[in-house]
Structure 1
Amino acid sequence: MNVLIVEDEVPAAEKLERYLAKYDTDIKVLEKLTSVAVSVKWLNQHQDELDLIFMDIQLIDGKSFEIFEQVSIQKPIIFITAFDEYAIDAFKVNSIDYLLKPITFDDLSQALNKLEGLKKNFGSNAKPAIDLSQALAQLQQKTYKTRFMVKLGEHIRSIVADDIALFYAEGRDVYLVTNERRKFIIDYKLEELDEILDPSLFYRANRSFITNINAIKDVVVYSNSRLKISPSIDLDKEIIVAREKVNAFKEWFNGL
């Protein structure tokens, strides 16, 4: 199976590629693209080589729906996004599934299994039929981790997600910081937290920080078109949103 990945976050694209290889070593990723403009050009030249497209919705130069205004895409698409508000628009085009970030290997497997089922029932060239109400119901069923166990001396405590201001990595350790400025080392990597935290509540600003939206005191424009987040707790570190993530952060911060 030949696959195209349209995703502007490099770590997300690389993770998806790893999951695809884990699912089936015969899957070949032909290209990883990051923008509407480049995707339009590539699809005009190479769409016939494809079997499947994975597509993020928010790209560096606009929303991926703009691609469909310029290219007639006849291949099945699996959308991947942090925002469920685009589900209805996604199913108006040739979509077979809509996965919410952070995706898991199980999410991907279910979507690919659905594609295989559609091929068996309707043939490889048939346009997939989507039950929109069922798809939206599946989005609403996704659950996220709501509490974390931490050690306090010889004692253990349970901290609910709403009480967590942020997570950050330092060396090999990952810290959970509460709204009361208490700090605990936890047995998770930031990549793992990306998989289990509610994306409407938490956002990974960069390689070192995941912040709770309710613990953001201020956001200011920083150098080189980046953003600087000021948390509501005292912190002796800077939280800088990388330039390539600024648009996605704004949409998340705005509640889109």
Structure 2
Amino acid sequence: MTLPLRIVLIEDEAATARNLEYIIREIKPDLEIMATLQSVTEAVNWLTEHHNSYDLIFSDIRLSDGLSFEIFRQTDISKPVIFVTAYSDYAIEAFRNNGIDYILKPFDEEEIRRAFLKYNTLIVPDIEMERARMASLLQQLRSATKTYKKSFLFHYCGRLVPVESEKIHWFYTAKEIVYARTADEKLYIAGSTLEQLEQALDPGLFFRANRQFIINRNAVDTVEYFFNGRLEVKIHPSPQEQVLVSKARAMLFRRWLDQ
């Protein structure tokens, strides 16, 4: 009897983790998802405790408390890793950390299916073939480019209004509706979730501040220290709600601003 493939997911966005798990189960219904880990700290603890009791890792790179590469520095991981991320900058480092594939968000079923095929080739070792495959894959990744959403087409007063992404200063969700506020203080309803927008927008320009806000770098006026290690971000146009960045994401936010 063949044992089911045992998989670990490392992803801090719940919606993305659910989507990834759904696609994985569609491709391999008999596999076992052993754990879904949301941070560097949680992953280090779990992987240390369950050393080599899994077969394959799917991992995001930017987590709430740092880059997932820190996990591989703190634990002894010999199993292959498929990286699934919104950032193309880390491809070389990913392959230095057990990476066998590098998938850019937003991903689809075909990309995950191809990643499983690559994993299957590792079961029958062929050193020369594997070296050639890895060299080809690295070359592809070096030339890979990620495109981001440049504009939106909003419904507004019975019309369709095109708005460039960089002119939107923040996205905000309330009562399951996502709003887009522009630099000239116009308000539109966006037909996407914040999770979908986060994957589609340029991460150099936009940052997911919390569960309610994605903010544009150009919207930030000042950043103030807030209670319990959080940051309060003053943005314009000014929303009715406070924009707070959690203690766990504060360092990532400061790095994002200080590029």
Tell me which interval the TM-score lies in, with the shorter structure as reference length.
0.7 to 0.9
Deviates more, 1:13-22 or 1:201-210: 13-22
What amino acid is the match of 1:123?
I
1:32 match: secondary structure = strand
Cα distance, 1:90 vs structure 2? 1.4
TM-score by length of 1: 0.82
Distance (Å, rounded) in 1 between the aligned partners of 2:251 and 2:124? 36
- 2:138 is the alignment partner of 1:137: no
Distance (Å, rounded) in 1 between the aligned partners of 2:250 and 2:18? 20
Q: Please list the CA deviations of residues 101-144 of structure 1 after superposition, one character each: whole Å capped at 9, or x if unmatched.
A: xx2341x6414413414524x53567865231211323x1x322
Distance (Å, rounded) in 1 between the aligned partners of 2:201 and 2:192? 12
2:243 aligned partner: 239
**Alpha-carbon contact 2:100-2:118 (below 8 Å) kept:** no
Distance (Å, rounded) in 2 between the aligned partners of 1:53 and 1:21? 14
Distance (Å, rounded) in 1 between the aligned partners of 2:24 and 2:249? 24
What amino acid is the match of 1:193?
L
**Alpha-carbon contact 1:201-1:212 (below 8 Å) kept:** yes
2:89 match: secondary structure = helix
Superposed counterparts of 1:27-38, under 5 Å? 27-36=31-40, 38=42
Cα distance, 1:254 vs structure 2? 3.1
1:220 aligned partner: 224
- Correspondence for 1:74 among 78, 88, 103: 78
Distance (Å, rounded) in 1 between the aligned partners of 2:187 and 2:219? 15
2:90 match: secondary structure = helix
Distance 1:58 1:204, change over 3 A: closer
1:185 aligned partner: 189
- Correspondence for 1:201 among 188, 205, 216: 205
Cα distance, 1:58 vs structure 2? 4.0
Distance 1:77 1:112, change over 3 A: farther
Q: How many residues are treated as equivalent by the alignment?
A: 249
Cα distance, 1:32 vs structure 2? 2.4
2:100 match: secondary structure = strand
**Alpha-carbon contact 1:53-1:76 (below 8 Å) kept:** yes
2:111 aligned partner: 110
What amino acid is the match of 1:251?
R
Q: CA RMSD in A?
A: 2.7
Distance 1:134 1:221, change over 3 A: same
Q: Please list the CA deviations of residues 48-89 of structure 1 after superposition, one character each: whole Å capped at 9, or x if unmatched.
A: 332211223344555433333444422110223444333222
1:48 match: secondary structure = coil
Superposed counterparts of 1:154-173, under 5 Å? 154-173=158-177
Distance (Å, rounded) in 1 between the aligned partners of 2:250 and 2:61? 15
**Alpha-carbon contact 2:9-2:17 (below 8 Å) kept:** yes
**Alpha-carbon contact 1:9-1:244 (below 8 Å) kept:** no
Cα distance, 1:166 vs structure 2? 0.8
TM-score by length of 2: 0.81
Cα distance, 1:9 vs structure 2? 4.5
Distance (Å, rounded) in 1 between the aligned partners of 2:42 and 2:161? 49
Distance 1:60 1:153, change over 3 A: closer
- 2:127 is the alignment partner of 1:123: no
Cα distance, 1:176 vs structure 2? 1.0
2:221 match: secondary structure = strand
